[in-house]
Amino acid sequence: MQQSKMGHCFEEFVKGDVIKHELSKTIFESDNNLFSLLTMNHHPVHTNTDYASKHQHGQILVVGTLVFSLAVGMTVPDISGKAIANLDYEKIEHLAPVFVGDTIYAVTKILDCVESKSKQDRGIIYVETSVYNQNGLEVLRFRRHVLISKNLEKKEV
């Protein structure tokens, strides 16, 4: 049996490539409740069915940072599994609401790949991840720079 691969080395990323991530997640009420408790986000639109039913969306709204956190996690096997560090997150856009029971999927485009100027054993990839619900509606988009190790193993000729 072959061991599953966690992440890719810098050289494996190609500017312009698009990666459809295999992982997906249906967001359950328990996920939203626990995340709300852990992050101390007690806004009733996330935790109170009666309150939420009388507001804009008419139902419980999943905490946006939960959707973001899940999306980042869903990309780990393909993007940051061999990362030295996530250097930044930028332009995080919440494009549509996510509700309890929605399933999210992620796709990442490689925007750029730059070798490190200070250390030869690494490089930086710049990526944009889009998150979609089960209906194909884009609900979240964000960009980040990830510092990735290079493959330093000697290849036999």
Residue 35 belongs to some domain of the structure: no
How far, in Å, CA of 141 to CA of 137, rounded? 11
The pLDDT of residue 154: 53
State pLDDT tens for residues 117-142: 898 899 999 999 999 999 999 999 99
Rounded Cα–Cα distance for residues 65 and 35 (Å): 9
- Residue 33's closest CA among 46, 20, 50? 46
> Is residue 105 in a domain?
yes
Q: Hey, what's the torsion of the CAs at 8, 125, 132, 16, to 10 degrees?
A: -90
pTM of the shown model: 0.89
User: Tokens 């988009």, residue?
Assistant: 141
Full DSSP string of 39-94: HT---HHHH-HHHHHTSTTSSPBPPHHHHHHHHHHHHTTTTTTTEEEEEEEEEEEE
pLDDT in tens, 54-81: 999 999 999 999 999 999 999 999 998 8
116 found inside a domain = yes
Residue at 125 is within a domain: yes
Range of the domain at 106: 10-24+64-149
Contact predicate 14/125, CB 8 Å: no
43 domain residue, yes or no: no
Q: Which CATH number do you get for residue 139? A: 3.10.129.10
In a domain, 2, yes or no: no
What are the tokens at 91? 């332009």
In a domain, 109, yes or no: yes
| Domain tally, the chain | 1
Lowest mean pLDDT among 2-16, 92-106, 107-121: 2-16
- Residue 81 domain-assigned (yes or no): yes
